[in-house]
Chain A
Amino acid sequence: MGQQLFTFGAAFLGSAVESVEALTIVLAVGLTRGWRAPLYGTVAALVSLAVLVVVFGQLIVERVPESTLKLVIGTLLLLFGLRWLHKAVLRSAGVVAMHDEEHAYRQTVSQLEGATERHDWVGFVIAFKGVFLEGIEVVFIVVAVGGTSKYFPEAVAGGILAMLVVAAIGVVVRKPLARVPENTLKYAVGIILTSLGTFWAAEGMGASWPFDFVSIFFLVAAYLAASQLAVQLVRRPALA
């Protein structure tokens, strides 16, 4: 039950972060050029992503031996999580600017301003590209988290629910979700994915963790402590 919830939570949080970024693009296109083309673009991207999840998910779960799957996906998840964590640490320490949805929104709007045609291909392509490219990360998180833990339906449910929640909020507020603490979420998801990646990669090597799944919480604590130490060390020379 704990592992199921953890899988669902990791997929939900990771997907929510990427959905916020996709929503910003769709809103920028919709509010400047009308809604029809970006909605078609969004639907086309979501269908393509769903095909990727089904194809890769089934292929991975059914064809790849469990230990190989854990080692390969665990290592990829580790690389993915550490990349997010690295960026989050640099943002927390003030080395890299915080991701700003308002700024991303204004940038997309300024690129799109101009007359629209009856069949707005620009609106369609930009919405498709935005949702598809942000969605690739959602697909990876869902397939990696669900495929290795054997809780694929829970991971898919977490990903879909995250997209639905973000889309529903977007429909209500009709502006970029600038108040979502995206950097904090990315930090948390980075730690969770790094911990899951370490856990599965080691199981794929043939090692058994002491206390089994509970050891993930020790991994979370270790990576949280390391990243906090990194933030402190990075801040110090910057202030000197």
Chain B
Amino acid sequence: MRFIRSAASRVIGLFVADWIQTAVILVIVAAAWYAISGLRAAPVPVLVGLVVLLAAQHIWFALSEARRDARSTPLPSPSPR
């Protein structure tokens, strides 16, 4: 049972590290899909927007995790003078 749980969490972990980031990526992809299939928008600007947004969220989430990590790491004690 533990093995199955571990395998299942491993499979989910393949795609999800941070649920919020995963949701943001899915929203970006869904928006591009809607623009192309639903609104029949010209594909090239949509594709450029898709890549720019995916790259931007990648930078944003890396920065926010680094900030979270910096806040949770205690500052070094001041050296004696």
Contact = CB atoms under 8 A, between A and B. Distances in A.
Interface of A: 71, 75-76, 78-80, 82-83, 85-87, 89-90, 93, 95-96, 129, 132-133, 136-137, 140, 194, 198, 201-202, 205-210, 219, 222-223, 225-227, 229-230, 233-234, 237-238
A225 B66 CA distance: 19
Contacts, number: 105
A153 B62 CA distance: 36
Interface of B: 3, 6-7, 10-11, 14-17, 21-22, 25-26, 29, 32-33, 36-37, 43-44, 46-47, 50-51, 54-56, 58-59, 61-63, 65-67, 69-70
Contacts of B69: 95-96
A83 to B, nearest CB: 5
Given A89-B62, A136-B10, A201-B29, 16 more contacts: A71-B33, A75-B29, A83-B14, A86-B61, A90-B66, A194-B54, A206-B43, A207-B36, A222-B51, A222-B55, A223-B55, A223-B58, A226-B59, A230-B58, A233-B59, A233-B63
Nearest to A235: B66
A46 B62 CA distance: 35
B66 A93 contact: yes
Contacts of A83: 14-17
B36 A205 contact: yes
A202 B54 CA distance: 13
27 contacts: A76-B15, A78-B25, A80-B14, A83-B14, A83-B15, A86-B62, A90-B66, A93-B62, A95-B66, A129-B3, A140-B14, A198-B51, A201-B29, A202-B43, A202-B50, A205-B37, A206-B36, A206-B37, A206-B43, A207-B43, A209-B47, A222-B51, A222-B55, A225-B55, A226-B56, A226-B58, A230-B62
